[in-house]
Structure 1
Amino acid sequence: MTDRRLAVEAWESLFRAQHEILDEISTDFDDEDLGQGEYDVLLTVARGPEMTARLRDITANMLISQPSVSRLVDRMVQRGLITKCPDPDDGRGSLVRATEHGAATFRRIASRHARTIAERLSCLDDRELTQLRDLTAKLRARH
């Protein structure tokens, strides 16, 4: 049986670490023309075939509500970062694709952001990073 006190201590430590690290790495977006939410949309799109993703997959990867994701995507379309069209395989869905401008902006910021993340997590060795990745995946998989 799980020790409740230890579970609470672990949770508090994980929560505080996530909050502190997120505050630090979020500064990558302070002086950029791409907000963190927009970066997250483009991250999902960039991982898809031909830099395309279904809107529902973007929504599933975001930590905001579906209506908020839809508004964010619409603003990004207006800014010329992405295009949106009906999904031919899902009559109610949409496909989102990065424009050349959106892809270039994403690549520029992603390179620096990955460097910031690696520097912040450099206190962990590769074995510990693997453990952290695997443990957090295990926590996320338990719904």
Structure 2
Amino acid sequence: MKVSECMTRDVRVANPQETLQAAARTMADIDAGFLPVGENDRLIGIVTDRDIAIRAVGCGYASDAKIGDVMSREVRYCYADDDVSDILDMMAEQQIRRMPVVDGDKRLVGVVSIGDLVKDETRQTGEALCEIARPSSMHSQVI
């Protein structure tokens, strides 16, 4: 199965100049803990609810601070025509729960999450989820 068959296509993209409060409000509105950040039609980062809590609030940023100040700039992404099993392996290895999906021109076309992939309920999905949930310092947010 290809990523395009299970990804979420309706994705809100935040601007790096938007405030942390606006990002949190958007996350609440769409019931997600993740927003791709784009500028000039290009994906430039990711902001998560954890980024807001740990990198922003934990470091004393005000709610009117900019998303660009706390977003993760290292973006791991996949292509819409990638095979789901390859992406599951990548998500497990990198301990990533969600991933932007881009087309051949690297334009954002969707997001795929472990929840999207669980619909297939394969053994590989379970193994990936175990690896993603494994304690690790890979994505440490220690201040």
Name the TM-score class by shorter chain: under 0.3
TM-score, normalized by length of structure 1? 0.25
Q: Report the structure, 1 or 2, having the larger helix content.
A: 1
Which of structures 1 and 2 has the larger relative contact order (alpha carbons within 8 angstroms, sep 6+)? Answer: 2
TM-score, normalized by length of structure 2? 0.25
